[in-house]
Amino acid sequence: MDTLLLAFGLGVSAGMRTFTAPAAVLAARGYLAGYFLAAAAGAEYVMDLLPNTPSRTQLVGVSARVLSGAFSGYVLAGIHGGPALWCAVAGIAGSLVGTYGGHAARLGLIQRIGAVPAALAEDAVAIALAIFIVTR
């Protein structure tokens, strides 16, 4: 697969869950930080279920997800030998799609299956996407 497309996909995962993509890409490289970020991702999944968690579309949430997507795309370029700057940009674009698209999809799912199942479904998609990409 094209490295830019993979970086975009990692960005989508980062947009859905901030710590999932960097945890996956760093763990795939064998870095200890990847496992610490995986623990942070687990905490993020739990916090996401709480009713007082701020919206991901607020400035702080969007900023964190954009940085996560950029970082993940950049590191992925090191793995696949792609253009680092453009992979970071693709990660940013993907993170914006994941942030706003994931938010819209989740709101739709909440109406159909409820808040907790919708959150768990989004978690599963973010995790599966990140794992699929880093194993390519």
Q: Are 33 and 26 in contact (CB under 8 A)?
A: yes
Contact 93, 65 (CB under 8 A): no
Question: Mean of the pLDDT values across residues 9-37?
Answer: 96
Q: What is the mean pLDDT of residues 61-90?
A: 95
Q: Is the pLDDT of residue 80 over 90?
A: no
The tokens for 118 are 């919708």
In this prediction, residue 5 carries a pLDDT of: 96
**% of the chain with per-residue pLDDT over 70:** 99
- State yes or no: pLDDT of 109 exceeds 70: yes
- Six token digits for residue 88: 């970071």
Distance (Å, whole) CA 96 – CA 44: 18
CA-closest candidate to residue 98, choices 39, 6, 18, 1: 18
pTM strictly above 0.85: yes
What is the pLDDT, as a whole number, of residue 82? 86
Sign of CA dihedral 2, 31, 70, 120: positive
- The reported pLDDT for the residue numbered 51 is 86
Average pLDDT of the chain is: 95
- 62, two tokens: 């969007």
Domain-wise residue ranges, the chain:
3-134
Using CB atoms within 10 Å of the CB of residue 91, give its burial: 0 to 12 exposed, 13 to 18 middle, 19+ buried: buried
Q: How far is residue 7's CA from residue 2's CA, in Å, rounded to a whole number?
A: 9
pLDDT score at 1: 64
pLDDT at 79 over 90: no
